[in-house]
Each structure stands twice: as structure tokens, then as C-alpha cells.
Amino acid sequence: MSENLIEVVDAAGLVRLTINRPKALNALNSAVLSELERVLSELEARDDLRGVLITGAGEKAFVAGADIAEMHEKTPEEARAFASQALRTIKRLETLPVPVVALVNGFCLGGGCELALACDWAVASDNAVFGQPEVLLGVIPGFGGTQRLPRRVGPAMALDLVTTGRKIDAAEALRIGLVNRVMPQAELEAYAEELAKQLAGNGPAAVRNAKQAVHDGMDQDLDSALALETALFALGFAGSEQKEGMGAFLEKRKPNF
């Protein structure tokens, strides 16, 4: 492939993925999705993976949406195949066993917002703009927006966004729970570095188990979810990580995971 559509930077298991189509505002087309799925399949196989940060190249956009130029002449069958490709790729991102963080600057619209919704949490710069404007193009969100958005912000707010197509700024995205933090654009990179250090300092198995408990428990009744939590809590005592973590606490030192 002549263009490096997904840039990968690996720092001791903390992997940063950058969608690299800045001239197209990092819009998702079939080639980007194929390359992203390939990269994610490689990450799935790694035992040393500690966390993933995903962002878009340049200062104008995280991902401005799916590539409208590519979609314009698609038939219903081709549209179904394109959506299926996107859903499959985004699901691989969502189900990585480690924390996945979206670093959002600029436009985060349509497929970009749907990509961010598949991440465990999102950090936005104060110039970020969010929305699901597909109805303005005569379609509905097709990369998971009608399902992940209400699970994140509630059905009433999700219906507001997907039926009006309106865009919201970072402050409103924070207020409704679409993102976790908002900061000046100039501070986003420094925060990403600090976050990477924080993730690296935590017990990797504990972090993986915590993510599994939250994600899997959300689809169960409370009693079943609590039983899952108990099982994963007990599992933490089976390895050396718990001994090191608690031992370091008692010895008043930093743990070495």
C-alpha cells in the first residue's frame, strides 16, 4: 500500500494508532477500514499489549466521518457490505482486552463518532466537534451509532442527535457523557503521554479483568454481573501480580508489574 493509512507507534506495549488521511479529514473508506482491521488483528495476538490510544492525523479532525465520495454511488447491497466491514473492524477495537482511549481533536462526526464510541473512554480537545449527521445525507448511522450512542448517553439524547443531525461542541459532549475529559488542544499530547505512563504503572491483568467485568457485566442482570465480578476478583489472587501490588503497598514502594 503506497500510503501509510494507519500509523502505529509502539512504546513497550502501549500502542498509538493514528488514522492518516489528513487531506480527507481522516474519513473512513474501505482501505482505511481494511488496514485498521489488519493492525487490530495483530494487536489481538499480543500478550504484552497494555493499552491503545487512537487518534487522527492533523489538527482539523479525529475522523470527520465515513467517506461520502466512496459511498455516493453504492447500491443497497454494497452499502450493507461497507457497513458490515466497518462494524467488524470497530468491534475488534471495542473487544481488545486492554483499555482503548480515543484522543479527539477537531471533527468527530458520523463514522468518527461511532469509532470513538467503541473506545473505552474519550479525551477531547476544546476544539472538538461531535455529531451523527447522517440524516442530513438521507441515511441513518450505519457503523453502530444507533446502538452504542444510547448506551453511552441515554436514548433521549441519542435520538436528539441522530434525528436532528446537529453538531455539539466538546463542552456539551462532556456534559452528556459522550467524552470523559476536555482540555485545551495544546495539552492533549501531554495528557496522552501521562495517561500512557499511568496505564503502564497498573497491573496489566487487573486492568484487563476490570475491563472484562464492566463490558460483560453490562449485558447481564445484576446478580450475574456481580458473580462475574467476584470470579474475576478471585482470579486476581491466582498470580504474582496481586502479591507484588499488595506487597508494594505494605512496603510503601511502587509496584513493579
7 is a catalytic site residue: no
d(CA 241, CA 257): 7
CA–CA separation, 245 vs 64, rounded Å? 42
Locate cell 446478580: which residue? 223
Selected catalytic residue, list 35, 37, 134, 241: 134
Q: Which SS3 state, helix, strand or coil, does residue 55 take?
A: strand
Q: Do the beta carbons of residue 125 and residue 185 sit within 8 Å?
A: yes
Q: Whose grid coordinates read 514502594?
A: 253
Alpha-carbon distance of 126 to 134, in angstroms, equals 23
193 has catalytic annotation = no
C-alpha–C-alpha distance, residues 181 and 139, integer Å = 30
From the list 114, 172, 244, 251, the catalytic residue is 114
Active site residues: 114, 134
